[in-house]
Amino acid sequence: MSYKLQFAELLPYWNVLLYGLVFTIVLTIVSTVVGIAVGTAGAAARTFGPGWLGRIVAVYVELIRNTPFIVQLFFIFFGLPALGLKLSETTAAFLAMVINLGAYSTEIIRAGIEAVPKGHIEAGLSLAMSKWEVLRHIVLNQAFRKIYPALSSQIIIVMLGSAVVSQISAEDLTYAANYVASRNFRNFEVYLLVALAYLLLAMLTRSLLRALGRVIFKAR
Amino acid sequence: MSLVSIRDVRKSFGSNEVLKGVSLDIAKGDVVAIIGRSGSGKSTLLRCINGLETYQSGSIVADGIEVAGANTNLRELRRHVGMVFQQFNLFPHLTAAENVMLAPTVVNKVSKAEARATAAEVLAKVGLSEKMDAYPSELSGGQQQRVAIARSLAMRPKVLLCDEITSALDPELVNEVLRVVEQLAREGMTLILVTHEMRFARDVGTKLVFMHHGKVHEEGVPKEVFAAPRTPELQQFVGQVS
Ligand SMILES: Nc1ncnc2c1ncn2[C@@H]1O[C@H](COP(=O)(O)OP(=O)(O)O)[C@@H](O)[C@H]1O
Ligand SMILES: [Mg+2]
């Protein structure tokens, strides 16, 4: 049971791995920003919007939360072309990530909105603010403060889950690992290295989000 | 002409009729104290006046605006009808000054500088000049309620609705809030107060309204009504609370 680690054999592929790493990072950042925007709109629609819109959002959320991410991804990439919508691997990966995080963050943000005391909303309305002004200036700020830890965890989950996009050959970190391993057969070294990269990325993201939270919510 | 005119208002929550034909006339400068048992419909009546609740029939006209009119702009109405709540409802993520500045900047679109000047003025009026940059969590209940009053005043309302605004306060903090309200009354502000402070209702009020089972059961000049309540219900109520 002795195995000689040969990390040197990964060196020729450093650019492939770096590209994959950058792809995963960009994929995470973009889907986080857009996904949370979708989630905010979804949560606003469910709590402050008209009933019919709220019901549509509810269906979207349940659909996404009760199906595997990989099936959502395959449906977008392999299924939609049947309707004439042919997306590139990269576009499909970004879209699937946004749709997925959008649904989960809708639920998280909605919980935050519902935790804001009703009296605060009535106080805002009594000051002649419109429903949307109340949402923007009074409710969302408090809601995000409350759910920021939950949302941060969800971002990490999505970042790690993004490895699945390698299955449609979107060129993320896991795709790069598969590619290198199939060339030099150093599976142990490649996947160990990539696992460490994800670990580091997750820890880095966590502390970055914590620092960001301190800046955004510095006031009480 | 009355500033707020309430005509035969009926309001039900489901099958529970809470206001059973309430009529009231409130003139400019009136200080109306509404008293009555818990559940008699006092809060619901106040909330109907600024459109937080709808009602099924009757009419409420406040500052010339029909509250439940088909084309009523509730925003316009609420610019003239302020409300202060039992639970203060300060926005916890904003300082005292920011709480006061929010509606003027968002609703009236005044500049930050102008809003801050207004905030300084109204916070001085409630005796909190030094607390402008304090967050609600750093203030006592009495101070929070005074900020809430200042926040309403910043919109320059013509009527201020106050729903049991001292009921959530520790007894030793009640007076600092009542003093502010009394000063507003002296300056001629029209006030409609739901209150359990009977002495305050008698000394500061210009009109007393006793609500019972969703109706105005008795009304009149506070000192006279308290000295000689006509109905047994009010006699019993006054006996219990004082
Ligand atoms: N949002 C509501 N939904 C259903 N019933 C309500 C609601 N608000 C008040 N009520 C009922 O209306 C009645 C009057 O309440 P309220 O106006 O709060 O009385 P008061 O302020 O005099 O204590 C009570 O029976 C109460 O249970
Ligand atoms: Mg009440």
* DSSP per-residue string spanning B28-44: TT-EEEEEE-TTSSHHH
Rounded Cα distance, B133 and B138, in Å: 10
Asked if the Cβ–Cβ distance from B93 to A129 is below 8 Å, we say: no
Please determine, for residue A143, whether its predicted confidence score (pLDDT) is greater than 80.
yes
Q: Residue B220 burial by CB count (10 A; 0-12/13-18/19+): exposed, middle or buried?
A: middle
Q: Is the pLDDT of residue B242 over 70?
A: no
The residue whose CA is least distant from atom 5 of ligand 1 is B13
Report the nearest-CA residue for atom 8 of ligand 1.
Answer: B44
**Residue A33 pLDDT level (bands cut at 50, 70, 90):** very high
H or E element at residue B207: strand B207-212
Per-residue pLDDT band at A1 (split at 50, 70, 90): low
Report yes or no: B148 at the A interface, CB cutoff 8 Å. yes
Q: How far is CA A31 from the centre of its chain?
A: 5
Q: Residue A219's pLDDT band (boundaries 50, 70, 90)?
A: low
Give chain B's length.
242
Q: What is the mean pLDDT of residues B148-162?
A: 98
- Total CB pairs under 8 A between chain A and B: 68
Could you tell me the domains of chain B?
4-241 (3.40.50.300)
**Is residue B140 helix, strand or coil?**
coil
Tell me the fold of A7-216: MetI-like fold (1.10.3720)
Cα–Cα dist B31/B27, whole Å: 9
Does the pLDDT value for residue A2 go beyond 80?
Answer: no
Q: Which of B13, B192, B213 to mutate to test the pocket of ligand 1 (most atoms within 8 A of CB)?
A: B13
Phi, psi of B7 (to 5 degrees): -125, 110
DSSP classification of residue B27: -
Whole-complex ipTM: 0.95
Q: For chain A, give the mean pLDDT.
A: 95
Residue with tokens 């959320």: A61
Task: Report, as an integer, the average pLDDT of B169-188.
Answer: 96
Cβ atoms of residues B167 and B212 within 8 Å:
no
Distance CA B154, CA B74 (A): 18
pTM score: 0.91
Separation of alpha carbons B228 and A98, rounded Å: 71
Whole-angstrom Cα distance, residue A83 to residue A67? 21
pLDDT at A9: 84
Among the partner residues B75, B89, B151, nearest to A119 by beta-carbon distance: B89
Question: What's the sign of the alpha-carbon dihedral A7, A9, A12, A16?
Answer: negative
Q: Which of A134, A130, A143 is nearest to A36 (CA)?
A: A143
Contact B36, B193 (CB under 8 A): no
Give the start-to-end residue ranges of the domains of chain A: 7-216
How many angstroms separate the CA atoms of A107 and A86, rounded?
30
